[in-house]
Amino acid sequence: MEPLTTQKLLREASERLSAAGIDTPRLDAEVLLMHVLGLDRAGLYRQLSEPVAPAAVHRFLELVERRLRGEPVAYLTGHREFYGLDFIVTPAVLIPRPETEFLVSWAAERLRRQPASRVFVDVGTGCGAVAIALAYELGSGWPGLLVGSDLSLPALRVARLNRDRLTPRRVELVCGDLLEWCRGPIDFVTANLPYLRPEQVHRGLVYEPLHALFAAEGGFALYRRLLRQAAERLHPGAGMICEIDPSQRDLACETARQFFRGARIEILRDLAGRERYLAIEVLPSPRSRGA
């Protein structure tokens, strides 16, 4: 029997994944084979005509079968890139999405603009993607405290692994329900909490932790609680940004205005033009501005 080459394996796997309706069949096949062979993309393409060892072929085909059943590539490889960093992911945590990177860049810009800021909290940190990427972006020279909090201990174990691998500075990890563990004051909050409705479930989501995806009250229950808690802990001049479902735009604004009277509240769009982010800036009081 003629040995299977890298090129032939990729072609056959891509065809099977495409026939099964996978959105990115060639990319998925490449990522899985790179993982099995321990190669980057350049190394993979350098050996397209080379035969692949039978054990590696068997392992690769096992992963392809799992991908055909809908299991996400990130769980199959145990890794996901976010903000240019390689994060460990497991089924205990939500897979970081590209749109969530905006939370990092928006927060970093404002924290740099406010050198007096000292306390940042990423609520529902999961694998630690936002807090760790922000620590990487700000570098060791930023003088404040960075905290990632989550109610899930298994998620925090993954976040600890990523923190110890990736951060140039310390990120504290806290097990707690939203901001109930924190007395404040806080300078900045980011959050990507569960915001989906049960009817929004689809094939790819069933492998991810459901408690990290879905919330009551049309997906907004946790954000309602968080906004109330944050309003009690954010001081004048502080800020907050949350990733929401675009359908929650009006509800998010209405709820934020209820708790943050006089704050600057806006909805920002993601790169696809969807109304994805609720941004709040707590304005200094007239007395503090005049001081």
Q: What is the pLDDT of residues 199-246, one digit of tens each?
A: 777 666 778 888 888 888 888 999 999 999 999 999 888 999 999 999
Same structural domain, 44 and 103: no
- Evaluate whether residue 255 is within a structural domain: yes
Is 44 found in the same domain as 152? no
Same domain, 93 and 133: yes
Same domain for 50 and 117: no
**Does residue 268 form part of some domain?**
yes
Q: Give, as one character, the DSSP assignment of residue 51.
A: B
| Overall average pLDDT of the 284-289 stretch | 56
Query: Residue 75: pLDDT band by 50, 70, 90 thresholds?
Result: very high
Residue 114 in tokens: 């406010």
Q: Is residue 74 part of a domain?
A: no
Q: What is the pTM of this model?
A: 0.90
Which contacts of 42-51 are long-range, i.e. CB under 8 A and separated by 24 or more positions? 44/6, 47/6, 48/5, 48/6, 48/7, 48/10, 49/5, 49/6, 49/7, 50/5, 50/6, 51/3, 51/4, 51/5
Is residue 291 scored above 70 in pLDDT? no
- Which CATH number fits the domain that encloses residue 44? 1.10.8
Q: Are residues 275 and 140 in the same domain?
A: yes
Average pLDDT, the chain: 91
DSSP for 183-246?
-S-EEEEEE----B-GGG--GGGGGS-GGGTB-HHHHTHHHHHHHHHHHHHEEEEEEEEEE--G
pLDDT score of 169: 72
- Determine the structural domain holding residue 38 and report its residue range: 6-69
Q: Which two tokens stand for residue 63?
A: 């992963």
Residues 281 and 234 in one domain: yes
CATH of the domain at 199: 3.40.50.150
Determine, yes or no, domain membership for 107: yes
Residue 75 counted as domain residue: no
Asked if 181 and 283 sit in the same domain, the reply is yes
Count of domains in the chain? 2
Question: 148 pairs with which residues across the strands?
Answer: 122, 173
Whether 127 and 260 share a structural domain: yes
Is 97 part of a structural domain of the chain? yes
**% of residues, the chain, pLDDT over 90:** 77
1 falls within a domain:
no
- Indicate the residue among 22, 45, 69 that finishes a domain: 69
| Sign of the torsion formed by the C-alpha atoms of 153, 159, 165 and 168 | negative
